[in-house]
Amino acid sequence: MKYNIRGQRMEVTDALREYVEKKLSRLERYFEAPPQSDVNVTLSVTKGQQAVEVTIPLPGALLRAEEKREDMYASIDFVVDKLERQIRKHKTKINRNFREAGSARALFKEDFGNGNSVTTLTRDEEDDLELVRTKRFNLKPMNVEEAILQMNLVGHNFYVFANTETKDVSVVYRRNDGKYGLIESAE
C-alpha cells in the first residue's frame, strides 16, 4: 500500500508519519496480496481534538474511518481498530454472498494472525447486519431547503425526499460538523 499522509492545520512530523505507516501496515495481513491502491490519511487538529481520517479504495469496496481524540496517537490506534472491524465485516459479507471461486472473496485471506485462527463475526457484529424494521411512505416533492427544515422538525439526522429540481429521490443529512449534506443518485 502507498500512503498519502497530509496534515490540515498542522505539520506531519516524521514520528507521526512512521507511526501511521506502522499501524496501517497491520491491515496488510488481511489481504491475499497487498492492495495497490493509495491509502489517503488526513491528520488534523480542531478545537483541541486530534482527528485522523483514513480512506482505502479497494476493488468493489471503500474502507473509510474517522476518529477524534485528545491524543493523535490514540486517534490513530482507534481508527485502525475501526478499519479492522470493517474488513472483518466485509470479508464475512463476501463469504456469505459469494461462494464461487474468482469472486471478490479472493481479495481477503482465509487465515490471518498466527496462521491457525479463522476470523468469524462475534454475536454483536452479526446483530449489526440484522434488519429490524422497514418503513414505507410517500415522498413529498420538495426542494433541498424544505427537506432540511422537515428533517429538523422530525428530529432525525437524515431525511429522504423527492427532489423537485432533479425529479429524483434524494437524501439530506446532518454532518458531524453541524452542517448539512445532500446525497443524489449519479446517473
110: left (phi over 0), alpha (psi -120 to 50) or beta: alpha
pLDDT exceeds cutoff 70 at 50: yes
Cell readout for 31 is 489481504
When comparing pLDDT for 87 and 110, which is higher? 87
Could you tell me the pTM of the whole model? Answer: 0.57
Question: What dihedral angle (degrees, nearest 10) is formed by the CA atoms of 183, 68, 62, 121?
Answer: -110
Average pLDDT of the chain to the nearest whole number = 80
| 134-144 confidence digits (pLDDT tens) | 888 788 889 99
**Of 52, 56, 63, whose CA–CA distance to 12 is shortest?**
52
pLDDT at 127 over 60: no
Instruction: Identify the band that residue 113 occupies on the pLDDT scale cut at 50, 70 and 90.
Output: very low
129 band by pLDDT with thresholds 50, 70 and 90: low
pLDDT in tens, 15-34: 999 999 999 988 888 777 77
Residue 105 scores a pLDDT above 70: no
* pLDDT one-digit tens code per residue, 140-160: 889 999 999 888 877 788 999
| Residue whose C-alpha cell is 502507498 | 2
Domains in the chain: ranges and CATH: 2-127 (3.30.160.100), 141-183 (3.30.505.50)
Residue 39 pairs in a beta bridge with: 3
Give the side-chain half-sphere CA count within 13 A for 3. 20
